[in-house]
Amino acid sequence: MTPDSIEKALARDEYPIELLNAISSDYFTWEPHRARKSHIDEFGDEIKPGDTYYSRALTPAFEQSTKISSHSMHIVLKVVFEQNQMGISLAKHFIKKANDRLMNTFAEMNEDGVKQAPLTHDSSSKSDSP
């Protein structure tokens, strides 16, 4: 999500999931899914087959996760980010830093997708003799 799309969502009184993920661990982000069966989320809200819900792994091997409905996620995002300009600014800062790192990685790759070694200027290998 770009900073402009975040601003548009905030103007519509929506709080994108990217804001929450920006202040969470890179390894345990909230991801949307389509329910195949009924679930009850962490707040007691029903997730029906076909509904969108969000899950977040709780362990590296993904054997444990937490699920919350779209309705519950909307409430969480509203509670965390509504009237919280500092929290929004912090999350947007983290999103920008992550995007910058990604763009720098792409810039360092050659046409084959292989990361190029940085150019170094090693003055010790030059000879000072004429």
Q: pLDDT, tens digit, for every residue of 105-116?
A: 878 876 666 666
Q: Under DSSP, is residue 109 helix (H, G, I), strand (E, B) or coil?
A: strand
d(CA 86, CA 82): 10
pLDDT bin (cut points 50, 70, 90) of residue 97 is: confident
CB 81 within 8 A of CB 90: no
This prediction's pTM: 0.65
- 40 has pLDDT over 50: yes
8-20 mean pLDDT: 72
Mean pLDDT of the chain: 79
DSSP class per residue in 32-57: EEE-SS-EE-TTS-EE-TT-EEEEEE
Percentage of residues of the chain with pLDDT beyond 70: 72
* pLDDT score, position 130: 47
For the chain, which residues make up each domain, given as ranges?
Answer: 3-90
Answer whether residue 44 shows pLDDT above 50: yes
